[in-house]
Amino acid sequence: MHNFEFAHDLDIPVHPISALDFMPRAELAAMQLHRLKATVRLCYERVPLTRRRMDERGVKPEHIKTLADIRLLPFMKKTDLRDEYPLGLNAADMSEVVRFHCSSGTTGKPIVITNTANDIEVWRNGAMRALAMFGLRAHDVMQVSYGYGLFTSGLGAHYAGEGLGCAVLPTSGGNTERQLMLMRDLGVTAIACTPSYFLHLIDEGLKAGMDFRRDTKLKHGIFGAEPWTQEMREKIEDLTGIEAHDIYGLTEISGPGVAGDCQYRCVLHVFEDHFYPEIIDPETLEPLPDGEEGELVFTTLDRTGTPMLRYRTRDISRIVPDVCKCGRTMRRIARVSARSDDMLIIRGVNVFPSQIESGLLTVDKVLPHYQIVVDKAGDLDTLEVKVEVSEKTLSDDVKSLEALRKRIGAAIQHIININARITLAEPNTLPRSEGKINRVMDLRKKRAAK
Ligand code: DLL
């Protein structure tokens, strides 16, 4: 169907659904521009907030003549969705809407996204292409342990698996014992869940005497919905022998399947025929050149329920220049290891939880369960990192434990330049999660609220 612009050296045959991933750039750009124009027209005609903002800037749909003209358009933010709750940004007639999805924020009302049948297809297409890129095929048995419901995770993974012809096991989250039993008994080869829930499954499996390599057929993990580091990926792969793939997405733009990594890892291909990425400086709102880190912004190119123009995700990434060795022509973004919302300011230094994770997971003997506690002693911020180690490690002599604490502290300090107090915790004592995990306790906020 498409000419392949670049030779590719995939070790697995390309799935037919992936053909679009290899579109020649010129063809892709023409498709993007055509779709962008239609989306801008739709928003201008149907979404009063967008129309007002475009009018204020003197921008009309006909001013969008090239892809670069996207810069003329106003941004959208999560607060717009909240302020326009429930349906102010909906562009479709209710007769065309087939599903609502919601994403909760930390405060107040959820945001509501309407999906037309077309939007579900767009979403399914991105999610299927992600799984195909990971190497899943019809013979795979996929357990979906993401939650089903208002969140997009469960259903997104579900469609993608079924679409590829996999046998899907919709366990949703929770009931870990049953999850493990079914995983083993049904010969599950792929699991889709948050990386933090998979850690919990590994733990519970080990406790029950289960060896993932020996007792399961698990080959693929389809992990996303929360930031996780390369070090965490290595830890998971080491513990279980699976390939841990990274799938990215967000409710406002569609769901899981906006981007994913190919076999060359570390960076994610964006399904650019549907979702147009930009990186901006969050202060000046100016687009940044390829390679520079900033806030990830997406424009949906062919959604019709709640189309989004230049949606500010608050996720931090960068566009990775150059062509990928896999031959896909879709541009790449660096893995999203942090959200600007998660940034902690400790003694004046900006710190992301993922930086602490990267540091501590380089130390052997450390288990991938930790908690970050930020507090104040007088006027000074304090940072404590609690990390689990095995009972065997804890039974080491005092000197060895002190040396281990020092090594962990040094690994963290090397990255964030802050001295943290390290507490070694017993196995299974730090919080676990069935969905997105929060590993940070910022007690300064509680003190300030008192
Ligand atoms: O979490 C959609 C999703 C489900 C993606 C399952 C992947 C797998 P929301 O609940 O709207 O949607 O949350 C979106 O989660 O802005 C990121 O901050 C974060 N996130 C999602 N995927 C990744 C990832 C789903 N692979 C928010 N790496 C996004 C890092 C991710 N962060």
pLDDT one-digit tens code per residue, 230-265: 999 999 999 999 999 999 999 999 999 999 999 998
Lowest mean pLDDT across 102-106, 139-143, 177-181, 199-203: 102-106
Q: What pLDDT does residue 3 have?
A: 36
* CATH of region 343-449: 3.30.300.30
Nearest CA owner, ligand 1 atom 14: 250
Distance from the alpha carbon of residue 338 to the mean position of ligand 1, in angstroms = 11
Q: Whole-angstrom Cα distance, residue 135 to residue 220?
A: 9
Atom of ligand 1 lying closest to residue 157 CA: 6
In the chain, ranges of CATH 3.30.300.30 domains = 343-449
CA 193 to chain centre: 11
What class does CATH assign to 5-25+114-339?
alpha beta
Grade residue 11 by pLDDT with cuts at 50, 70 and 90.
low
Query: How high is the pLDDT of residue 5?
Result: 38
Is ligand 1 within 6 A of the CB of residue 255? yes
Least trusted range by pLDDT, from 10-19, 50-59, 130-139, 288-297: 10-19
Query: What integer is the mean pLDDT of 144-158?
Result: 96
Could you write out the three-class secondary structure of 349-405? EEECHHHHHHHHCCCCCEEEEEEEEEEEECCEEEEEEEEEECHHHHCCCHHHHHHHH
First-to-last alpha carbon distance for the chain, in angstroms, is 64
Query: What would the mean pLDDT of 400-415 be, rounded to a whole number?
Result: 97
pLDDT value for 390:
95
- CA 398 to ligand 1 center in whole angstroms: 41
The pLDDT of 128-139, averaged and rounded, is 97
Q: Report CA(415)–ligand 1 centroid distance (Å).
A: 25
| Nearest by Cα to 368 from 179, 183, 200, 206 | 200
Q: How many CA atoms lie within 13 A of 137 on its CB side?
A: 7
Q: Is the CB of 153 under 6 A from ligand 1?
A: yes
Contact 114, 138 (CB under 8 A): no
- Tell me what pLDDT residue 105 has: 60
Residues of the chain with CATH 3.40.50.12780: 5-25+114-339
Q: What is the pTM of this model?
A: 0.96
Residue 254 Cβ < 6 Å to ligand 1: no
Atom of ligand 1 nearest to the CA of 313: 16
Q: What is the overall mean pLDDT for the chain?
A: 94
pLDDT at 156 over 70: yes
The finding on whether 256 has its CB within 6 A of some atom of ligand 1 is yes
Q: For residue 6, what pLDDT is reported?
A: 40
Amino acid, res. 45: E
Helical spans, DSSP H, in 135-280:
153-164, 176-185, 195-207, 212-215, 230-240
Per-residue pLDDT band for 376 (boundaries 50, 70, 90) equals very high
Helix (H, G, I), strand (E, B) or coil at 450: coil
pLDDT at 266: 84
DSSP structure class, residue 126: H
- Regarding the beta carbon of 315 and ligand 1, being less than 6 Å apart is answered yes
Cα of 214 vs centre of ligand 1, distance in Å, is 31
Among candidate residues 98, 187, 72, the one with its CA nearest the CA of residue 141: 187
Closest Cα partner for 303 from 264, 266, 271?
Answer: 271
